[in-house]
């Protein structure tokens, strides 16, 4: 649940990375220069990844990694993500009573009732602890999704706008009669 992610409670399945290396959130480096002044004299090319700066650039900027600015914590993001996924899967394998037959999380509500909650596909496991493979044909394009009551879903905002316009046109036509 997204509110759990925002509140940092529950298991965080929405593990995504806003990597400072790409500078996608701070392309001008203005934010970093303002809020991380110890790096402010580095070039735009290295300010978001000071460990890639040359010794001479670090020295000219007054940056001493491990002293004036901490050393990098995560060096291999893919490896760390893999370890995180493995740890989540291991926890789920050791807690089978909280997984349903489809691999979804089961939580207990304050009332004592139990309910199924969304579980990211890569974390859905069967009773044997194996990752459940999703049939690609069931999720392929062209197939209509259905809600819990079996009604077709989809269409999004454009469809809603078109339906409103159609309704308005129909009401105007009826009003003219």
Q: Which segments of the chain are extended strands (E)?
A: 105-108, 114-117
**Predicted structure pTM score:** 0.57
**In the chain, how many domains are there?**
1
pLDDT band at 35 (very low <50, low <70, confident <90, very high): very high
Q: Which domain holds residue 35?
A: 1-53
DSSP letter for 78, please.
H
Backbone φ and ψ of 141, nearest 5°: -65, 150
Q: What tens digit of pLDDT does each residue of 85-144 get?
A: 899 899 999 999 989 989 988 888 999 999 988 888 888 999 899 999 877 665 545 555
- Note whether residue 38 is domain-resident: yes
pLDDT confidence tier of residue 167, bands split at 50, 70 and 90: confident
Buried b (16+ CB within 10 A) or exposed e, 49-58: ebeebeeebb
Task: Examine residue 133 and state whether it is found in any structural domain, yes or no.
Answer: no
Residue at 29 is within a domain: yes
* 37 found inside a domain: yes
pLDDT greater than 80 at residue 12: no
Candidate from 8-12, 58-62, 82-86, 166-170 with smallest mean pLDDT: 8-12
**Largest pairwise CA distance in the chain:** 82
């Amino acid at each position: 649940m997204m509110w759990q992610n925002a509140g940092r409670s529950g298991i965080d399945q929405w593990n995504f990375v806003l990597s400072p290396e790409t500078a996608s959130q701070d392309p001008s480096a203005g934010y970093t220069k303002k809020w991380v002044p110890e790096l402010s004299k580095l070039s735009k090319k290295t300010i978001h990844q000071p460990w890639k700066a040359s010794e001479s650039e670090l020295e000219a900027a007054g940056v001493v990694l491990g002293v004036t600015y901490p050393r990098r914590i995560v060096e291999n993001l893919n490896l760390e993500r893999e370890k995180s996924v493995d740890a989540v899967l291991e926890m789920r394998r050791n807690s089978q009573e909280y997984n349903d037959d489809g691999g979804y999380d089961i939580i207990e509500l304050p009332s004592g009732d139990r309910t199924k909650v969304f579980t990211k596909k890569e974390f859905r496991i069967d009773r044997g602890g194996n990752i459940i493979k999703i049939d690609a044909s069931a999720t392929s394009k062209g197939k209509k999704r259905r809600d819990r009551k079996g009604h077709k879903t989809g269409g999004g905002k454009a469809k809603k706008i078109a339906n409103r316009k159609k309704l308005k046109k129909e009401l105007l036509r009826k009003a003219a009669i």
